């Protein structure tokens, strides 16, 4: 009897041991799949987004350079794509980033913008709406806050990330919104390719007339489209103060 009980106990212990072993192996398989999936997703995102972009979008610009406090051009409006650290000024570039790839950030109504001519050399900006401001084509780095009264209720074409009204060919209003779209859907990319260049070359060229209408729409939202200090057109000041001429009688007929 005692021998039978010992045998049953051994069998029970064996099955319990096997059960726990199987559970441990199953947990290991699940964890492996999870980490492999996360690594694959991170690799896929890295293939779509350059490593410096998120640093650029989170950088604070236009503060005074602590190294060149008393210099005339000491605002930190430059960003190094090789180092992707903090913003720096004109003087720091010649001393620390002389041979690096650097872009300049500008301001439009307290929002950071970058010239298309600079950023399109290192980034695929297809799908991001551009604006013509003071004869310079630019795009916004990040989403801009919208007033409730400025939301386009009747517009059928909106930014996929923040619902700002856009022109027809575009999907995003800023680089930041495109980044959110890539992380959510993965159906776009910032990496320049020959195919994307052809698309940008053909499909997404917007006539200047349409962009001018968009600028009017932005002005209605209270956004002043200005990057540099602009001077009034020649003669506009003098014309506003010009006195009316003295009326002259028409010559009498013969």
- DSSP readout, 211-245? HHHHHHHHHHTT----SS-PPPPTTHHHHHHPPPP
CA proximity to 81, closest of 53, 111, 57: 53
Residue 158's pLDDT is 92
Work out the angle at residue 192's Cα, subtended by the Cα atoms of residues 187 and 198, and round it to the nearest 5 degrees.
85
Residue 157's pLDDT is 86
pTM above 0.75, yes or no: no
Do 121 and 94 contact (CB within 8 A), yes or no? no
What does DSSP say about strands 131-133 and 111-115: parallel, antiparallel, or unpaired? unpaired
The rounded radius of gyration (Å) of the Cα atoms in the chain is: 31
Residue 124's pLDDT is 95
Task: Provide the residue ranges of all domains of the chain, joining segments of one domain with +.
Answer: 50-100, 117-144+155-227
> 158: which strand partners?
165
pLDDT of the chain, 254 residues: tens digit per residue: 555 555 666 666 566 667 777 878 777 766 656 554 444 444 444 578 999 999 999 999 999 999 998 999 899 999 999 999 999 999 999 888 988 999 999 998 889 999 999 999 999 999 999 999 888 999 999 999 887 655 555 667 899 999 999 988 899 999 999 999 999 988 888 888 765 444 444 444 444 334 444 444 443 343 333 333 333 344 444 444 444 555 555 555 55
Residue 223's pLDDT is 37
Residue 46's pLDDT is 52
CA pair distance 11, 141, nearest whole angstrom: 68
């Amino acid at each position: 009897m005692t021998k039978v009980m010992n045998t049953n106990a051994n069998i029970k212990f064996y099955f319990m041991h096997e059960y726990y072993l199987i559970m441990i192996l199953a947990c290991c398989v699940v964890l492996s799949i999870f980490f492999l999936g996360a690594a694959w997703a991170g690799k896929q995102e890295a293939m779509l987004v350059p490593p410096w972009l998120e640093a650029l979008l989170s950088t604070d610009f236009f503060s005074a350079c602590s190294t060149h406090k008393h210099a005339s051009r000491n605002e930190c409006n430059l960003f190094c794509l090789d180092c992707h650290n903090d913003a720096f000024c004109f003087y720091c570039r010649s001393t620390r980033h002389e041979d690096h790839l650097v872009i300049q950030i500008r301001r439009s109504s307290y929002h950071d913008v970058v010239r298309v001519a600079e950023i399109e050399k290192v980034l695929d900006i297809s799908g991001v709406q551009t604006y013509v401001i003071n004869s310079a084509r630019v795009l916004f780095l990040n989403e801009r806050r919208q007033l409730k009264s400025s939301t386009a209720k009747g517009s059928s074409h909106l930014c996929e990330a923040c619902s700002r009204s856009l022109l027809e060919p575009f999907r995003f209003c800023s680089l930041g919104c495109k980044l959110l779209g890539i992380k959510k859907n993965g159906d776009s990319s910032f990496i320049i390719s020959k195919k994307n260049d052809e698309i940008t070359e053909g499909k997404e060229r917007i006539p200047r007339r349409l962009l001018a209408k968009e600028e009017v729409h932005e002005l209605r939202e209270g956004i002043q489209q200005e990057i540099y200090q602009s001077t009034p057109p020649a003669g506009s000041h003098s014309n506003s103060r010009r006195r009316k001429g003295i009326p002259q009688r028409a010559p009498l007929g013969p």
